[in-house]
Every structure is written in structure tokens, then in C-alpha cells.
Amino acid sequence: MARIFADLRRGLEVTLSNGRHTWRSDEPPESGGDDTGPSPYELLVGSLAACTLITLALYCRHKGVVLKSISATYEHGRIHAEDREVSVDPKKGFIDQITSHVRISGDFDDAQRKRLAQIVERCPVHKTLANGVKMIDKAEFG
């Protein structure tokens, strides 16, 4: 289980901790923040990128596949719902989209290339986002 503790500090800056590490998130000035850390969506796609690269590295380690390097670029954006062939709530108008570009370097045969391309979509965070998340929200007032 992953557990994160979050506290709003000043402005829109949020301090995050898992009990072992502390980091922050903020919004850029054009969104009313001070840009003291990555935005929440940057943290989200950063988590996906980290999970994907770790999953690829662990797969290669397990299978004895030698990697030269792995790097990736992830982007989050919103597109008009009518631009996609996905059933969405028509009231929303937009759907979220994450695009990845993963670069895997090494001396691979065709079967390894095919399998590594499949592994890109099989990291746990990718599966969670692709399958949807059941949200349970509780607000407490004091």
C-alpha cells in the first residue's frame, strides 16, 4: 500500500511525505502558484514514467537482457471527447490523455523488441490508470 501525507503550506505549495522522503508540489504562476515544485499532473505522469522505466529495467534484469539505456517523455493533456472513439460522459466535453515516448537502447533481436514494447504498457501504474480507479473520499472538519 502506498500512503502519502500532504500539507498545504503557503499559497498553493503542498508538502508531500511518505514518512521516508519529503517533496513538494505547486502550480506555475499562470495558475496562481509560485512554481516551487512540479504540478500535480507532472507528478502523476512522473509516477507513470518512473514505474515504466523501473518495470522495463526489472524485466531486463530478470531475463538477462542487457540494456544500454532507457529514457522517456510523458505528456498529459485534455482533448475534445468527440476527437476520440471512446464513450465518455457528453457533459464533460474533454477527456484526459497521456502520451508516452519510451526510448530503449540495447542490442535486441526482433522478439525482444516486441516484448519490451509490450512491457511498456504493463507497469502497475499504467494498468491502474488504464483500468480506472475506484475513489473513496472522506472529508473531516475540525
- The tens digit of pLDDT for each residue in 88-106 reads 555 667 889 999 999 999 9
Q: Is residue 77 part of a domain?
A: yes
| Rounded alpha-carbon distances, angstroms, from residue 98 to 41, 78, 85, 121 | 10, 9, 16, 12
Q: Is residue 65 part of a domain?
A: yes
Answer yes or no: do 62 and 86 share one domain.
Answer: yes
pLDDT along the chain (142 residues), means of 10: 95 97 97 97 97 98 97 92 57 84 97 97 96 94 93
- The structural domain count of the chain equals 2
Answer yes or no: do 27 and 47 share one domain.
Answer: no
Answer yes or no: do 63 and 116 share one domain.
Answer: yes
- Reported residue count of the chain is 142
DSSP string of 59-96, one letter each residue = HHHHHTPPPSEEEEEEEEEEEEGGGSSS---TTT-EEE
pLDDT of residue 6: 98
